[in-house]
Amino acid sequence: MKFTLKIWRQANRTAKGRFVDYEISDISPDASFLEMLDILNEQLVVKGEDPVYFDHDCREGICGACSLFINGHPHGKGEGITTCQLHMRRFKDGDTIVVEPFRSTAFPVIKDLTVDRSAFDKIIQAGGYVSCHTGGVPDGNAIPVPKREADMAMDAASCIGCGACVAACKNSSAMLFVATKVSQMALLPQGKVEAQRRAQAMVAKMDELGFGNCSNTYACQAECPKHISVANIARLNREFLSAKVKQPLKKDE
Residue 57 sits in a domain whose CATH number is 3.10.20.30
Cross-strand partners of 8: 19
> pLDDT tens string for the chain (253 positions)?
999 999 999 999 999 999 999 999 999 999 999 999 999 999 999 999 999 999 999 999 999 999 999 999 999 998 999 999 999 999 999 999 999 999 999 999 999 999 999 999 999 999 987 776 655 656 656 677 888 998 999 999 999 999 999 999 999 999 999 999 999 999 988 888 888 899 999 999 999 999 999 999 999 999 999 999 999 999 999 999 998 888 777 665 5
Please check whether residue 192 lies inside any domain of the structure: yes
Closest of 55, 8, 62, 9 to residue 33, by C-alpha: 55
Considering the domain architecture, whether residues 56 and 91 belong to the same structural domain is answered as yes
Which residues constitute the domain of residue 140?
118-246
Angle (CA) 109 175 116, round 5° = 15
**How many folded domains does the chain comprise?**
2
**Helix intervals (H) in the chain:** 33-46, 118-127, 147-157, 164-168, 175-186, 195-208, 219-223, 231-246
User: Do 153 and 99 lie in a common domain?
Assistant: no
C-alpha to C-alpha distance for 211 and 52, rounded to whole angstroms = 27
Asked, for residue 253, whether it belongs to a domain, the answer is: no
Give the domain CATH number at 170: 1.10.1060.10
Q: How many residues does this entry show for the chain?
A: 253
User: Are 141 and 102 found together in one domain?
Assistant: no
226 & 141 share domain: yes
- Domain co-membership, 179 together with 97: no
Q: How far is CA 41 from CA 24, 35, 52, 184, in A?
A: 11, 10, 6, 39
Examine residue 18 and state whether it is found in any structural domain, yes or no. Answer: yes
Shared-domain flag, residues 225 and 198: yes
Half-sphere exposure of 80 (CA within 13 A, CB side): 3
Q: Are residues 175 and 80 in the same domain?
A: no
Crossing angle of helices 147-157 and 175-186, in 10° steps, is 150
In a domain, 251, yes or no: no
